[in-house]
Amino acid sequence: MAPSLTLAQAAALLTKGGVIAYPTEAVWGLGCDPGDEVAVMRLLAAKRREVGKGVILIASSVAQLAPYADFTALSPTQHADVLATWPGPHTWVIPAAAAAPRWIIGDHNGIAVRVSAHPVVIALCNAFDGAIVSTSANTAHAAPARSVDELAPDLLAAIDGILAGSTTGQDRPSQIRDARSGRILRA
């Protein structure tokens, strides 16, 4: 079983290429440093997820997402629509920044990003000093864990630690919308 981590330990693990589990608004997430290809590939292998699907990045501020998402590609109205929902459980697909790694955006030209209002996520992103990968803590086609007790043994064996906390009780994972079209990609 993966060890329980303090906030400082979790941030240090992320910096060193670790993969951790942590609570989000509705489900438990798996996270790592989005700039560390090896860590992202470990996370994707643990989930049995194809790299082409891309992953969501979660942050405590818009500034933490700037290296990955090109907010200047949005119109002022589109940009205002995105900012009006943050912080909160709303994920937006924004045009990817030129430097956004393929292992994050997958086969897409956009990147899914969210500024969270979850206190554990905010503290983790601030301690790490950047955005982190946020994908549900489950293997492909399995239900996401809604509590630490629901984390699957095979996932626990593949990660480096667990940051304690709980979800905020939201009943569904975040809605995903395309920032340019406004189209809902996941309700």
Sign of CA dihedral 69, 73, 75, 76: positive
Supply the CATH number for residue 181's domain.
3.90.870.10
pLDDT value of residue 157:
93
Q: How many domains does the chain have?
A: 1
- Cα–Cα dist 172/25, whole Å: 9
pLDDT value of residue 170:
77
- Reported pTM: 0.94
pLDDT value of residue 171:
72
The range of the structural domain enclosing residue 43 comes to 4-186
E strands, 106-163, are: 110-115, 132-136, 161-163
Pick the range with the lowest mean pLDDT from 1-5, 40-44, 63-67, 72-76: 1-5
Helix, strand or coil, per DSSP, at residue 90: strand
Give pLDDT tens digits for 101-139.
Answer: 999 999 999 999 999 999 999 999 999 999 999 999 998
Give pLDDT tens digits for 154-167.
Answer: 999 999 999 999 89
Give pLDDT tens digits for 5-28.
Answer: 999 999 999 999 999 999 999 999
